Amino acid sequence: MSIDWKKEVEQRKDALLDDLVELLKVRSDREDDKATKDAPFGPGPKNALIHMLGYGERDGFTVKNVDNYAGHIEYGEGDETLGLFCHMDVVPAGDGWDTDPYVPVIKDNKIFARGSSDDKGPSIAAYYGLKIIKELGLPLSKKVRIVVGTDEESGWGDMEYYFKHEEKPDFGFSPDAEFPIINGEKGNVTITMHFDGSNAGSFVLESFDSGLRENMVPGTATAVFTVDDSAVIADLTVAFEEFLKAENLKGELVAEDSLVKISLVGKGAHGASPQIGVNAGTFLATFLDRYDFAGGAKNFLHTAAKYVHLDFYGEKLGVAHEDARMGQLTMNAGILKFGPDFDDNKIALNFRYPTGVTGDSLQKAISDLLGDTGTATKGDRDMPAHYVPMDDPLVATLLQVYEDHTGEKGYEQVIGGGTFGRLLERGVAYGAMFPGYTDTMHQANEFMSLDDLFNSAVIFADAIYRLAK
């Protein structure tokens, strides 16, 4: 049977875009302070999950909500299940947007909003791929289940809960990365360095605040400190202006009597690619490290400045490693907090590591480096490296679909980002971004090209059908 998938998507593109716009309006970043038993990650992720499942109910699919942790939209019958793993949660919007991040705007053939490319846009494209198959009445020999998560950007507690209540699909993919395929993902773990809150110098660090999530490069940083010398403050003001000029950064210093507040603006980016961002937190630490802080405050600033600043590959930390297939270890300092207003004085380092490294080995190395200046702990989520071979029928089929629709040769890729594709032994990430795309995930002014949105729906429809027919 020959099916013109592009024509089928073209007939539905207005409806697809309308559904995406409404979904993007649902703010869905995790809010632990608003979490309840009924909304385990806060109201936003719950509302977005219900909204997405509502599309499935509207269109006649089998739908299940698993206690607002996750849910699924299912179609077809068979002994095997093909899983598509999407997520409705998003990272916080952060600063630097030209438009309201929760009011979708279409301009220059792109849709701008938080979640447009990660992962609501690709989720809607995949959903419409299955919707087309259902509306055409195409026969399938397997179940197809779109699993919708709500905590992908944080701790994956949604999937942990979901799979305590539902069976795992046999194989599948997550539309949460790029084409032609992601069949390998580095390991992922966060090692947090902890410092005591003491101050003992002529400069007293009252607070240091930078970073929203471990997997985001901090785009802003603010430090508040006291120094009882007006002449020193005058010199400090001049030095800060020189620092901004030398580093080509923007910032502000405000002094009132002995209290000084410094704000610095960098550039946010996805924590899997820290080298494309500008970490405002570590830059601010390097500026402050030259002054007379002492005690835990000095240890905090000096560690960030000497061992973390511009160390994207763990070289200064002594943990650099490279694998022939998976490439280099990368490291992102996603959260830097100091002061009594925070639950901890810490620097959280998110590592994406190849084979040959473990979370335990990273923790030990950093603990040894800190010595008696601090301690190092490993986060609860330590995901080892994941790889599905090129000759696996899943990978081969998905690459063939990509080649058939683009005319371009498919090839394997390994990334530092972690997707739900790794939930399955035979799981990969597939789309929805095409080679050469501009990566705005986890950044201000996130967008998805409408051409990529519709073309990915074409590929998803054909891929689902070939894998499940």
Distances (CA, A) of 17 to 84, 104, 355: 20, 11, 40
DSSP 5-62: HHHHHHHHHHHHHHHHHHHHTS--B--GGG--SSSBTBHHHHHHHHHHHHHHHHTT-E
| C-beta neighbour count of 406 within 10 angstroms | 16
Instruction: Return the beta strands (E) in 319-382 as ranges.
Output: 322-323, 327-328, 330-338, 346-353, 375-378
**Active-site residue, from 19, 29, 89, 153:** 89
Residue with tokens 């058939």: 404
d(CA 114, CA 446): 6
Q: Tell me whether residue 241 is one of the annotated catalytic residues.
A: no
Bridge partners for 147 per DSSP: 72, 85
The catalytically annotated residue of 74, 118, 152, 382 is 152
User: Are 12 and 128 within 8 A, CB to CB?
Assistant: yes
Of 291, 272, 268, 295, give the one whose Cα is nearest residue 280. Answer: 268
Neighbours of 80 (CB within 10 A): 12
**Region label for 320, one of left (φ > 0), alpha (ψ between -120 and 50) or beta (otherwise):** beta
Active-site annotation holds for 152? yes
Structure token pair of residue 162:
């979901």
Contact yes or no for 49/62 (Cβ under 8 A): no
Q: Are strands 346-353 and 171-174 parallel, antiparallel or unpaired?
A: unpaired
Give the containing element (helix H, strand E) for 361.
helix 359-370
Radius of gyration of the chain (CA): 24
Secondary structure (DSSP) of 145-199:
EEEEES-TTTT-HHHHHHHHHSPPPSEEEESSEESS-B-EE-EEEEEEEE-----
Amino acid 424 reads L
Cβ atoms of 84 and 175 within 8 Å: the answer is: yes
> Catalytic amino acids?
89, 152
